[in-house]
Structure 1
Amino acid sequence: MREKGKHRRIRKSGLARGFAAAGTGGAAIVIPLLASSGAQAAALPHVPVAAPALAASTGTVRAAVPVSAHQSGAAKATEATYTVKLGDSLTEIAGRHHVKGGWQRLYEENRSVIGGDPSLIHPGMKIKLDGAEGKAGGTGRAKTNERAARSSERAPSHTSNLDGWIREALDIMRREGIPGSYHGIHRNVMRESSGNPHAVNNWDSNARKGTPSKGLLQVIDPTFRAYHVPGTKFDPHDPVANITAAANYAAHRYGSIDNVNGPY
């Protein structure tokens, strides 16, 4: 017999089906829930759920984003520089490093370091080599050498006399961006040496200092070394090398060999 006052819970045969959402840190899983109609919900069964990949502490799922080299702190490419050595000139440096625009470009990029006179560069000075083709490595230099070879194959031949020397020098000067005209060079050559590439001045102040003027445009050795144009012979008695070095010096000092009308 049942004790007085105690009642038997009536069990219904029909089941009420519900669903409960279990939170998993931002991703929801729906779990079927069985409950007796009119009764309290049964305890949720324990369902192991894998945590979502790359979940942050806040429960938000984040996608993996590729990080660029700049964001990861990869080192930036360093800007190419050159340290000036004794006897260097902007023209020689620009030619050696294949700087597009020649010494003029080099000077413009380094005016704040060099100052107002492009001919006055000093050993130890740091010069930026912007526009240098060789910065990319051997491939850039190889292409430059290939272009130079093709150019030399197409270069016209010149007669071995004053007219031919001036015309050959003008071809090189145009390539290097050095100003000057046939008339300006010829006029100065005739005044300085009368067209003799072996002329040497052994009597003036330069000669007394031990550096006599030499060649068609009477260039002293220190000036020739400083303003020698790459691609020409390193000999002040060579007619083309003498003309181009003198014209290069005059461009730095006077703007052009055409502006020289006397001893310079």
Structure 2
Amino acid sequence: MPRTIRITRSHKLAAAVLVAAGSVTAITATGGQSEAQPTAATSSATAEKAATGAATAKESAAKKAAAENAAKKAAADAAAAKKAAAKERSEKQAANRSTERKAVAAPKKAAPKAAPKKYANNLDGWIRESLDIMKKKNIPGSYEGLHRNIMRESSGNPNAVNDWDINARNGIPSKGLLQVIQPTFDAYHVKGTPKKLTDPVANITAAANYAADRYGSIDNVDSAY
């Protein structure tokens, strides 16, 4: 038969010691595990916090870049609008100047030519026509001065001829309204009138031209001249 093991009081105490020692070891092992767990958790939280901070920083940078881009775009749009407005003003000013130049450069319509002035074919008409020509040629003389001398020299007859004075004896008789000899007529003939000694208007203007040169004006003549 197997031998019966007798458990003595000493054995019990030893066993208790061993059990107690195992419990302490277990407690010590358990305690070390508890201290390790908070350290791992802290590291995980720190990493998570760092990741969150990086994400926040990245998001902030993205927002800042977006804001800067928006500001640049707004500035570019404002510059483009300003440039377009300046171009529009320039084009309008150019158009206005072009219109003004065209208005200034537009040729004026020629005024209709006045109908030639008509004069009566009589002594009054001849004197008035002669006075208009004398005015254009700056030859002095008045209606009264011409009329007075004409009536004394020829009584208003454009074909009157003096055939008795010294000029007639010399072969160059005085003729016409103001009794002018041919050499005097040729020398004082007024351009624009007929080159005919007895033409009434040509005779008057040539005589008035001669009187102006010699006496200052036909108005100053009161006798043979």
Query: TM (normalized to structure 2)?
Result: 0.49
> As a proportion of its length, which structure holds more helix?
2
Which protein is bigger by CA-based radius of gyration? 2
> As a proportion of its length, which structure holds more strand?
1
Query: TM (normalized to structure 1)?
Result: 0.42
